[in-house]
Amino acid sequence: MKIINFEEVVASFSFEEAIQVMKKCFFDYESGKISQNPRLVEILPDGKDKNVFAMMPAYLGENRYFGTKVITAFPDNHQYHLPSHLGEIFLFDAQNGLPRALINANAVTWIRTAAVSALATDYLADQHAETLALIGAGQQALSHLAAISTIRRITTVFVYDILEERRNAFIANAKNQYPKMTFINAISVEDAVRSAEIICTLTPSKEAFLQKEWVREDAHINAVGTFTPDTREISTPLMETSQIYVDDYSAALTESGDLLIAMSEGDLEESCIVGTLGELVSGKKTFYKGESSPTIFDAVGLAVEDLCCAEYIYNKLERGSLK
């Protein structure tokens, strides 16, 4: 069995590649060629009511692979200089059940989450959007900046994090990597999003913080920080007045606190979901940015995304090892 660590994943899997892999993944998922089972999520009985252990299985077909991502989410890991999300992806040969690879899930999640957001942004954001807001300056902030800047000419980036030290460190690092971009150190969420055409919320928040009155009518929002029914980032009024797209109907209506809590608080119903990313990619639905209301891509993350990335990385490295 091949073991592929964080550094190998990052070195072998670019954001440009990841976006294309995710495009094919969503096309295949919408076509029924690949499948997944509901994720198993356990909140650890450690008395903190926030540390999560999850397992995400998927099947890519009898001539491909199957497997699962096993991951933990500890929101306070920044205190120990660790990522909030850690884990591994187990990849098995679908023809014979042979274990083929153990792949660092943190690296895959870091890349594929941002790649999916970029793919959704390419379909839902204004083609000439240049301003980006990153809410949360953790690990996903840099990957979202990298991925979205591959599909839009980003000139200005607003950054907010509740921890000033983390916000400052992110901006210092990002300036070195993207010297042509202007980075704004925002003092509040409102300050960060008011002028932003693209907004990425990247936090494990249990309280909605993104308010309707702060967001431009032509803005696109990637709400990707939370994936449990009791966590949320987007306020109910903003959810109610936006065009909502999701990564998967069933997963969103089971796991998305942004949707479920808004449904319990207001007039939001299941029919508020305009479509899925798979429907956009496959052409079953076409988006026109004509309405004067924000768009939201509410993503909880799918096992098929992880397995498609793991397959691509494994196959690429195996081909390289045979040269």
Q: How confident is the model at residue 64 (pLDDT cuts 50, 70, 90)?
A: very high
Q: Are 39 and 53 in contact (CB under 8 A)?
A: no
The pLDDT value given to residue 291: 63
Q: What pLDDT digit, counting tens, does each position of 138-149 carry? A: 889 999 999 999
What is the distance, to the nearest Å, from the Cα of residue 106 to the centroid of all Cα atoms in its chain? 13
Q: What pLDDT digit, counting tens, does each position of 241-273 carry? A: 999 999 999 999 999 999 999 999 878 899 899
Q: Are 302 and 251 in contact (CB under 8 A)?
A: yes
| Tokens 């790649």, located at residue | 115
The pLDDT value given to residue 321: 61
Report the C-alpha gap between 261 and 106 in whole angstroms: 28
Query: Which segment of 24-28, 234-238, 285-289, 314-318 scores lowest on mean pLDDT?
Result: 285-289
Report the C-alpha gap between 119 and 289 in whole angstroms: 16
Q: What pLDDT digit, counting tens, does each position of 181-214 carry? A: 999 999 999 999 999 999 999 998 989 999 999 9
Q: What pLDDT digit, counting tens, does each position of 141-184 carry? A: 999 999 999 999 999 999 999 999 999 999 999 999 999 999 99
The pLDDT value given to residue 323: 46
Q: Is the pLDDT of residue 322 over 60?
A: no
- Looking at per-residue confidence, does 38 or 312 come out higher? 312
Say if pTM beats, i.e. exceeds, 0.75.
yes
DSSP code per residue over 268-314: --GGGEEEEHHHHHHTSS---TTSSS-EEEE----HHHHHHHHHHHH
Instruction: Provide the b/e sequence for 70-86 (b: ≥16 CB within 10 Å).
Output: bbbbbbebbeeeebbbb
